[in-house]
């Protein structure tokens, strides 16, 4: 893989951000983002335990997708307080993703505001993501092709991104938003996955208080180098083609995949993984 460092800036005006990053759809890290957020000083794992400790949270790990697990069903549940204790005590693969701040702990809304980056942010879906040391997401892109602003809190996180132009080299699973689950993007085996050599993307490491902008439809892989959490704010796709792809994903592809899982079970999942390998290697 050819990975270049994502550019970093200390701060930037709204007009420059829109001109240099949103319009050309280029990723960037803002290091000194400051909108007078209380979250910058308050938000930590200890604080989340304090304000949300009694909440029951859904947990996911990196096991391969299996029909018996259900569609997007959590692999485990526990109280947030117990989960945070687990994060701090030992490495764990369990992660929380798409945890809606407004729905679960409305008081957290008082700790942040919606910044003006020159693009309209959706204000009903601020999502939190938690992970333990060395836990990671599969390489994926978001179903709605959103513009994503990823604010990181506590610890350090490795981020690897690819634009959609590299999709043909990533072993994308058909009728899905992920690449083949057996690929370790932090240390890929190029003999097993030779097409990855041709993929061109970006990398960075996020620390507390930094913001990663991910353009529409960008593939992203996240690995927690230490226990920590992040919040994503998002904006709808602006490119008409990407907006239409998002509509297809949401209203057609997702439902077709769910139907086929019901009809064919694990065989459907296994066939898709095999097709991802055959189709991608055929390009070489």
CA distances from 162 to 43, 55, 212, 226 (A): 29, 35, 14, 23
pLDDT band at 71 (very low <50, low <70, confident <90, very high): low
CA torsion angle 240 7 148 13 (round to 10) = -90
Please check the confidence at residue 66 and state whether its pLDDT lies above 80.
no
H/E segment holding residue 205: strand 200-207
Give the Cα separation of 240 and 123 in Å (integer). Answer: 22
**Looking at the DSSP assignment, which residues form a beta bridge with residue 202?**
4, 161
What does the pLDDT look like over 97-120, one tens digit per residue?
Answer: 999 989 999 999 999 999 999 999
Which pLDDT band, with edges at 50, 70 and 90, does 36 fall under?
A: confident
Residue 282: pLDDT band by 50, 70, 90 thresholds?
very high
Q: Quick one: which H or E segment has residue 103?
A: helix 101-104
pTM of the model: 0.95
Residue 69 in this model has a pLDDT that exceeds 80: no
What Cα–Cα distance (Å) separates residue 215 from each residue in 12, 74, 184, 221?
Answer: 17, 28, 23, 14
Phi, psi of 188 (to 5 degrees): -70, 145
Which pLDDT tens digit goes with each residue over 244-260?
999 999 999 999 999 99
Please tell me the predicted confidence (pLDDT) of residue 74.
87
Residue-wise pLDDT tens digits, 186-208: 999 999 999 999 999 999 999 99
Span 58-67, mean pLDDT?
A: 85
Task: Tell me if residue 140 falls in helix, strand or coil.
Answer: strand
Predicted pLDDT of residue 64: 77
For residue 73, the model assigns a pLDDT of 82
Return the structure tokens found at 2: 């050819």
b/e burial code for range 37-47 (CB count within 10 A of at least 16 → b): bebbebbbbeb
The answer to whether the CB of 117 falls within 8 A of the CB of 14 is: yes
Mean per-residue pLDDT for 15-30? 97
Domains and CATH numbers, the chain: 2-166+199-240 (2.60.120.650)
In this predicted structure, the answer to whether residue 67 has a pLDDT above a threshold of 90 is no
């Amino acid at each position: 893989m050819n990975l270049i460092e994502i550019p970093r800036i200390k701060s930037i005006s709204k007009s420059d951000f829109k001109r240099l990053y949103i319009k050309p759809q280029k990723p960037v890290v803002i290091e000194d983002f400051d909108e007078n957020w209380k979250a910058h000083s308050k938000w930590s794992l200890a604080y989340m335990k304090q304000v949300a400790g009694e909440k029951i949270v859904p947990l996911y790990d990196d096991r391969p997708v299996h029909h018996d697990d259900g569609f997007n069903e959590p692999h485990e549940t526990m109280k947030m307080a117990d989960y945070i204790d687990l994060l701090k005590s030992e490495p764990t693969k369990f992660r929380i993703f798409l945890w809606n701040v407004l729905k679960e702990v409305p008081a957290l809304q008082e700790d942040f505001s919606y910044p003006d980056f020159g693009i309209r942010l959706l204000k009903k879906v601020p999502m939190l993501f938690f992970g333990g040391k060395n836990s990671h997401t599969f390489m994926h892109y978001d179903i709605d092709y959103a513009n994503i602003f990823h604010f990181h809190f506590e610890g350090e996180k490795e981020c690897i991104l690819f634009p959609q132009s590299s999709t043909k080299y990533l072993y994308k699973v058909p009728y899905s938003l992920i690449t083949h689950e057996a690929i370790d993007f932090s240390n890929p085996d190029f003999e097993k996955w030779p097409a990855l050599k041709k993929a061109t993307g970006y990398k960075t490491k996020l620390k507390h208080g930094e913001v990663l902008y991910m353009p529409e439809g960008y593939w992203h892989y996240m690995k927690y180098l230490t226990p920590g959490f992040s919040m994503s704010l998002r904006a709808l796709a602006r490119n008409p083609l990407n907006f239409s792809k998002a509509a297809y994903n949401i209203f057609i592809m997702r439902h077709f995949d769910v139907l086929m899982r019901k009809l064919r079970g694990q065989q459907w999942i296994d066939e898709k993984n095999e097709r991802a390998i055959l189709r991608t290697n055929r390009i070489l």
